[in-house]
């Protein structure tokens, strides 16, 4: 069966798969012949008209061939009379359900009933935007009132699960109505017809904007034809911006529509709001659609509410893998790729822009073209990480391609439920031919009263030509007041390097402890501060004045360590610098342990003004206070470090009184020291060992 296509006569084209491992010249002889199943018709679309892949599964080919196709399982016994197999010696091929590998996604939801989920989400669209109304029976969101009756109406929609598209885009300056299907499934033609004929004004005509999926095009198209039959002027615009599906894979179906569709909505909606004609709005909508290219990538597939985890037939992704070209309906992408962001973005931009890629060069964009960049969150990427993604995309566009977008829009516009991915869209700005105030850029910047469009910056603000968005700091670094204390710089560097290396080496242990009892950032913060100090010591101008050196170290800590511990260390070190100056003799003299002890006692007292923490509260004070006290009494750094380690060890099982740890509890605490105290104790131990040696 190697390379032979198994298909069901009379069934849709997405039910195709190929058995790749069996011998081509004979039927399988044993039931233990391993095979792999792969999709032959990715771009054809699944049962709802959306592209669907086939999970790769191991199967046994003697009498059974296990196919897993878009959640569609069938026993072929009922279809044997229509089964087409190239080799006549195969007497039967049984298709059964198998358990897929599902990894990297969550199957937990607050609402698990998909019908209830969609209906309540549509209701919420009217609660957050008073200008919107809902036709619950037909899953339609439409604009209230008649203020928009003298404008061309814009209708769009598709399967649910892409929010804020499309319901949250209904409002002044954008859509007039949207129609929702169930999750990842096109709405029916009757739903769309009722929206066009009964929920939006038709006096100036209606533009129907639909993404290029078989089910959407058919159902919306059927409704458009029905509406035309009643005498209403209706035009349909199909958006196909995804380059993740190349020419060879797309075949007659063509490219899919993804996030670039939102730019078509925005530009044509703003134009319609000016009172433009149906002809002009349709022209600009098509012009915008023809100048779009998009591509997506995701770290995992999504789980659809209402399905059991075993029903999600998506192959797992490794921890360091991303799916390149993944669609917005859980469709398989064009391939796997390293999840390393710079490398991933590099490949994505190449697929968007490389003119030599004959399979994907759908739009010619050069450095001379004015463009708009849309970086879209597929639903599950944090706002923080989206900032990092956007910065990387812009950096590579400018440095590798010479493209400087006139507008950069980043946010959540078209999702795949809680998809852990993003998409990149480039719009090449073209002349609309409609004169001032109606360019693509001006229409994009025009205000819109909707909850799903988050690009509030005005044209005037974008047009401000600032010299740089990252102005050089004019803050002058001021050195500390010199003291007459002396400590050989090379000695200071050797001692500190030893202690800092010990702290860096213990970071995994500190991080492990903090992950169990805190927020997991303590070890990383300490390591970051230690590395910054080591870098400073290797680059700073040598000085034998410990007060000046300590001031420089303090500045390094302040700029690299944040959070509570960073603030505590900065206060302590600033106070220690001041303490050394207070202890400065009238003439140059080597610093002694007694001077260090008095300065440390002074800084410990100053720290007490800002925190009530004391030994016994399970904080870094459990290590710091014993160190200062023993050093003051014995004059020995090594003895002080030993006391610090003992103090840190005592925090095992100790109940926290301060910090975020007070909110965390558990039986495992008896073996876990306070992470901050443990990290500091290890640094002080390294300090004591270096001084002792």
Q: Average pLDDT for residues 33-44, to the nearest whole number?
A: 33
Percent of the chain with pLDDT over 90: 66
Q: Which residues are catalytic?
A: 329
Element at 323 (helix H, strand E) = strand 321-324
* 3-state SS, residue 235: strand
Judged by average pLDDT, the poorest of 142-151, 191-200, 353-362 is 142-151
How would you label 509-542 residue by residue, b for 16+ Cβ within 10 Å and e otherwise? ebbebbeebbeebbbebbbbbbbbbbebbeeeee
Q: Is 52 annotated as a binding residue?
A: no
What's residue 334's pLDDT? Answer: 85
Q: Is residue 478 situated within a structural domain?
A: no
Which of 417, 432, 463 represents a domain boundary (last residue)? 463
One domain for residues 158 and 289: yes
Task: Give kind and range of the element (H or E) at residue 7.
Answer: strand 4-8
Q: What is the pLDDT of residue 665?
A: 55
Least-confidence region, from 48-62, 440-454, 631-645: 48-62
What distance in Å separates the CA atoms of residue 420 and residue 406, rounded to the nearest whole number?
Answer: 27
- Asked whether residue 13 carries a pLDDT value surpassing 50, the answer given is no
Q: Are residues 367 and 422 in the same domain?
A: yes
Q: What is the pLDDT of residue 465?
A: 56
Q: Which CATH number is 174's domain given?
A: 3.40.50.10440
Domain assignment present for 471 = no
Q: Which residues contact 314 (CB under 8 A, 6 or more apart)?
A: 55, 100, 102, 105, 301, 330, 332
Spatial contact of 65 and 35, defined as CB atoms under 8 Å apart: yes
Helix H or strand E segment including 34:
strand 34-39
Per-residue pLDDT at 18 = 37
Asked whether residue 216 is marked as a ligand-binding residue, the answer is: yes
Q: Are residues 58 and 164 in the same domain?
A: no
Query: Is 442 within 8 Å of 411 (Cβ atoms)?
Result: no
Strand order from edge to edge, sheet including 140-143 = 132-135, 140-143, 177-183, 153-160, 206-211, 234-239
Quote the pLDDT of residue 162. Answer: 96
| Burial class of residue 565 in the structure, from the number of CB atoms within 10 Å of its CB (0-12 exposed, 13-18 middle, 19+ buried) | buried
- Return the minimum-mean-pLDDT range out of 117-121, 459-463, 569-573: 459-463
Q: Which two tokens stand for residue 331?
A: 């469709």
Does residue 15 or residue 398 have the better pLDDT?
Answer: 398
Neighbouring residues of 530: CB distance < 8 A, sequence distance ≥ 6 = 500, 501, 503, 504, 683
pLDDT reported for residue 634: 94
Q: Give bridge partners of residue 6 from the DSSP assignment.
A: 17
Q: How many domains does the chain divide into?
A: 3
Q: What is the mean pLDDT of residues 133-142?
A: 97
pLDDT confidence of residue 450: 96
Please check whether residue 470 lies inside any domain of the structure: no
The beta-strand segments (E) located in 174-273 are 177-183, 206-211, 234-239
Are 419 and 515 members of one domain?
no
pLDDT at residue 1 greater than cutoff 70:
no
405 — alpha (psi -120 to 50), left (phi > 0) or beta?
beta
Q: Is the pLDDT of residue 208 over 80?
A: yes
Q: Which residues contact 356 (CB under 8 A, 6 or more apart)?
A: none
| Separation between Cα atoms, residue 447 and residue 281, nearest integer Å | 17
| 524: nearest Cα among 494, 566, 572 | 566
Are residues 624 and 498 part of one domain?
yes
pLDDT in the model for residue 307: 78
Band the pLDDT of 664: cuts 50, 70, 90: low
Range of the domain at 643: 485-692
Strand duo 177-183 + 140-143: pairing? antiparallel
Query: For the stretch 454-481, what's the b/e string if a residue is b when 16 or more beta carbons lie within 10 angstroms of its beta carbon?
Result: ebeeeeeeeeeeeeeeeeeeeeeeeebe
Domain final position from 463, 498, 531? 463
pLDDT at site 292: 98
Confidence band (pLDDT; 50, 70, 90) for 521?
Answer: confident
Residue 265 has pLDDT above 90, yes or no: yes
| Interatomic CA distance for residues 440 and 427, integer angstroms | 10
Within this chain, do residues 372 and 499 fall inside the same structural domain, yes or no? no
Which parts of 72-224 are beta strand (E)? 83-84, 132-135, 140-143, 153-160, 177-183, 206-211
pLDDT recorded at residue 92: 34
Looking at the predicted structure, is the pLDDT value of residue 156 above 80? yes
Q: How confident is the prediction for the chain on average, in pLDDT?
A: 83
Same domain, 513 and 568: yes
Task: Decide: 345 and 397 in contact? Cβ < 8 Å.
Answer: no
The CATH number of whichever domain residue 606 belongs to comes to 1.25.40.340
What is the band of 107 on the pLDDT scale with cuts at 50, 70, 90?
A: confident
Average pLDDT over residues 207-217: 95
Task: Give the CA diameter of the chain.
Answer: 106
pLDDT of residue 662: 53
Kindly report whether the peptide bond that precedes residue 216 is cis, defined as omega within 30 degrees of 0: no
656-684: average pLDDT = 76
Sheet containing 371-377: order of strands: 335-338, 321-324, 292-298, 421-428, 371-377, 407-411
Q: How confident is the model at residue 464 (pLDDT cuts 50, 70, 90)?
A: confident
- Report if residue 89 sits inside a domain: no
Rounded-to-integer distance, Cα 491 and Cα 690, Å: 10
Of 242, 505, 491, residue with least CA distance to 376: 242
pLDDT at 692: 79
Q: Give domain status of residue 415, yes or no.
A: yes
pLDDT over 80 (residue 207): yes
Q: What are the contacts of 557-560 at 24+ separation with CB within 8 A?
A: 557/529, 557/532, 557/533, 559/532, 560/528, 560/529, 560/531, 560/532
Q: Tell whether 317 is covered by a domain.
A: yes
Same domain as 75, residue 124:
no
The answer to the question of residue 90 being in a domain is no
Q: Is 566 known to sit in a ligand binding site?
A: no
Q: Is 159 annotated as a binding residue?
A: yes
564, part of any domain: yes
On the question of pLDDT at 446 being above 90, the answer is yes
State the pLDDT at residue 326: 87
Contact 37, 56 (CB under 8 A): yes
In this prediction, residue 469 carries a pLDDT of 53
The DSSP-derived string for 623-635 is HHHHHHHHHHHH-
Q: Are 388 and 522 found together in one domain?
A: no
Check whether residue 619 and residue 669 sit in a common domain: yes
- Give the per-residue pLDDT at 12: 36
> If pLDDT is split at 50, 70 and 90, which confidence band does 224 have?
very high
* Residue with more model confidence, 93 or 595: 595
Band the pLDDT of 520: cuts 50, 70, 90: confident
Say yes or no: 458 and 510 in one domain: no
pLDDT of amino acid 149: 84
Cβ-count burial 579-598 (b if 16+ within 10 Å, e if not): bbbebbeeeeeebeeebbbb
Q: Say whether pLDDT at 667 is over 80.
A: no
Instruction: Specify the pLDDT at position 331.
Output: 82
Non-local CB neighbours of 466 within 8 Å, separated by 6+ positions = none
Token look-up 């007490």 returns: 608
Residues 584 and 677 in one domain: yes
User: 160 with 184: CB under 8 angstroms?
Assistant: yes
Kindly state the average pLDDT of the residues 588-599.
Answer: 95
Give the Cα separation of 331 and 328 in Å (integer).
7
pLDDT digits (tens, 9 = 90+) for 268-318: 999 999 999 999 999 999 999 999 999 999 999 898 898 776 555 455 788
Provide mean pLDDT across the span 22-39: 37
- CA 221 – CA 244 distance, rounded (Å): 25
pLDDT given for residue 456 in this prediction: 76
Strand pairing category for 589-590 and 485-486:
parallel
């Amino acid at each position: 069966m190697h390379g032979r296509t198994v298909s069901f006569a009379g069934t849709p084209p997405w039910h195709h798969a190929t058995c790749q491992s069996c011998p081509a010249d004979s039927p399988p002889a044993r039931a233990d012949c391993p095979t792999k199943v792969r999709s032959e018709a990715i771009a054809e679309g699944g049962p709802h008209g959306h592209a669907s892949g086939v999970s790769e599964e191991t199967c046994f080919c003697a009498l059974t061939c296990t196919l897993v196709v878009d959640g569609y399982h069938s026993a072929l016994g009922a279809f044997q009379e229509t089964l087409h197999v190239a080799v006549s010696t195969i007497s039967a091929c049984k298709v059964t359900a198998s358990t897929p590998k599902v990894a990297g996604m969550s199957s937990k939801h607050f609402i698990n009933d998909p019908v209830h989920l969609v209906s309540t989400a549509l209701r919420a669209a009217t609660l957050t935007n008073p200008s919107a109304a809902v036709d619950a029976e037909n899953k339609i969101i439409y604009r209230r009132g008649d203020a928009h009756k003298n404008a061309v109406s814009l209708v769009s929609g598709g399967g649910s699960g892409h929010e804020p598209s499309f319901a949250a885009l209904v409002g002044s300056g954008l859509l007039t109505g949207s129609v929702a299907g169930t999750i990842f499934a096109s709405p029916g033609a009757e739903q769309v017809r009722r929206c066009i004929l009964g929920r939006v004004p038709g006096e100036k005509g209606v533009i129907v904007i639909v993404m290029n999926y078989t089910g959407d095009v058919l159902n919306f198209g059927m409704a458009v034809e029905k509406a035309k039959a009643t005498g209403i002027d209706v035009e349909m615009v199909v958006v196909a911006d995804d380059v993740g599906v190349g020419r060879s894979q797309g075949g007659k179906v063509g490219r899919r529509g993804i996030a670039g569709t939102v730019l078509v909505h925005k530009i044509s909606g703003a134009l319609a709001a000016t009172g433009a004609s149906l002809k002009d709005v349709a022209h600009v909508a098509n012009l915008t659609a023809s100048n779009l290219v998009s591509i997506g990538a995701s770290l995992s597939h999504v789980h659809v509410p209402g399905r059991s985890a075993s029903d999600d037939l998506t192959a797992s992704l490794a921890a360091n893998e991303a799916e390149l070209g993944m669609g917005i309906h859980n469709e398989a992408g064009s391939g796997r790729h390293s999840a390393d962001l710079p490398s991933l973005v590099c490949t994505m931009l190449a697929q968007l822009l490389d003119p030599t890629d004959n399979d994907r060069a759908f739009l010619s964009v050069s450095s001379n073209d004015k463009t708009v960049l849309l970086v879209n969150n597929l639903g599950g990427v944090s706002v923080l990480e989206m900032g990092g993604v956007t910065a990387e995309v812009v950096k590579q566009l400018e440095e590798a391609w010479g493209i400087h977008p006139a507008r950069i829009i980043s946010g959540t516009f078209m999702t795949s439920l809680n998809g852990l991915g993003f998409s990149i869209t480039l719009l090449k700005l073209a002349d609309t031919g409609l004169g001032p105030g109606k360019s693509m850029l001006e229409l994009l910047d025009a205000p819109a009263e909707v909850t799903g469009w988050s690009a509030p910056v005005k044209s005037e603000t974008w047009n401000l030509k600032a010299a740089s968005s990252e102005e050089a700091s004019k803050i002058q670094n001021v050195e500390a007041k010199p003291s007459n204390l002396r400590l050989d710089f090379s000695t200071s560097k050797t001692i500190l390097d030893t202690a800092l290396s010990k702290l860096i080496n213990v970071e995994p242990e500190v991080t492990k402890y903090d992950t169990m009892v805190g927020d997991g950032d303590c070890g990383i913060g300490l390591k970051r501060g230690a590395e910054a100090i080591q870098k400073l010591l290797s680059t700073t101008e040598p000085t034998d004045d410990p007060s000046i050196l300590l001031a420089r170290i303090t500045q390094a800590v302040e700029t690299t360590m944040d959070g509570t511990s960073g603030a505590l260390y900065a206060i302590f070190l600033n106070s220690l610098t001041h303490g050394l100056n207070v202890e400065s003799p009238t003439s140059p003299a080597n610093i002694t342990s007694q001077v260090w002890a008095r300065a440390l006692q002074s800084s410990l007292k100053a720290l007490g003004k800002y925190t009530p923490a004391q030994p016994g509260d399970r904080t870094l004070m459990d290590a710091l206070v014993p160190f200062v006290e023993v050093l003051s009494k014995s004059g020995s750094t090594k003895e002080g470090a030993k006391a610090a380690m003992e103090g840190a060890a005592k925090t095992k099982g100790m109940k926290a009184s301060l910090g975020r740890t007070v909110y965390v509890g558990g039986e495992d605490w008896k073996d876990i020291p306070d992470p901050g105290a443990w990290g500091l104790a290890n640094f002080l131990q390294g300090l004591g060992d270096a001084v002792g040696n």
